[in-house]
Amino acid sequence: MAEHRFALDGRVALVTGSGTGIGRSTARVLAAHGADVVLAARRTELLERTAADVEALGRQALVVPTDVTDADACEALVAAAIDGLGRLDVLVNNAGGAINRPPDRWSVADWHRIIDLNLASVWFLSRPAARHMLERGSGTIVNISSGASFLALPDVAPYGAAKAGMNSLTRSLAAAWTPGGVRVNAVACGAVRTEGYGESTKHQNLPDDAILGPGNAMNRVGDPEEIGHAVLFFASDASSYCSGQTLWVNGGPKAPATT
C-alpha cells in the first residue's frame, strides 16, 4: 500500500505551540495519519480545542500546558508525555513567535524573549526527548523554522537570527543523533496564514493575505495544513533517508520581472 510509509499508527507525537496555527494543524495531520498527540502551549483553553480535534479523529490527546522557555518545564513535559502515553516517537518544535520593530527599538528583554522562545526551547526540549528516543533506537525531531532565517528582514532581525540558529542546531543534532536512530530535520515556512502572520500584516497596514518578504511563484499565502503535511513527511518513514535537512516551504521562487 503506497500510503504506509506516511502511517504513524502506534506512535506518539509531541507538538509544541499546538493551540493555534501551524501547531494545531500539524497535530490534526499527525492524528489523521494515526498518531496519538501530546499538546503543549501556554493557553490551556486553546490546547483543549486542539485536543477535541485530535479525539474526533479517533486518536488520544494529552494536554500539558507548558512554558517552553523554561528548561525544567521542558524536562517535565517530555516526562509527562512518556508517563501519559507510554512513549515518545515524534517531537515537533513548533512554538515560536516574532516582534515587528526596527533594530534600534528592540530592548534587551525583547531579544531574550525571542531567542528563548524560538531557539532555546528547541535545545531544552530536544535533549530530553532524544534521550528517550536513543534508548529505543528510533525517533524523529522536526523543527519549525522560517524563511526569515535565509532572508534580510530588518524588522524581525532577532527572530531571523533565532531561526537561522535553529537551522544550524538541526544539522548539529542530526550529526550527533542520527547514528543512534534519531533523525532531526526542519521545515522553514514562507508566508502562512496564521494568527501571528495576521498580526504582522496588520502591523504594516496590509491585507491579511499580503505576501510578506520576497514574492512567491504561487502568489498566495500558504495554509497551515500545508506545513503540517511537510512535517508529516519528516515525522514518518517517508523521509527515512533524510536527516539534518531544512526544507523551505514557501510557494516557490518567483522569477524577476523582465521587459
Known catalytic residues are 159
Q: What distances in angstroms separate CA 166 from CA 83, 85, 111, 119, 250, one per listed residue?
A: 28, 28, 16, 6, 18
Could you give the CA distance from residue 153 to residue 141 in angstroms, rounded to a whole number? 27
Q: What distances in angstroms separate CA 188 from CA 2, 5, 49, 148, 246, one per listed residue?
A: 27, 23, 26, 8, 6
Q: Are 249 and 190 contacting, i.e. CB atoms less than 8 angstroms apart?
A: yes
Grid cell of 73 as nine digits:
518545564
Q: Are 28 and 228 contacting, i.e. CB atoms less than 8 angstroms apart?
A: yes
* Burial category of 218 from C-beta neighbours within 10 Å (exposed 0-12, middle 13-18, buried 19 and up): middle
The residues near 237 (Cβ < 8 Å, ≥ 6 apart) are 5, 6, 7
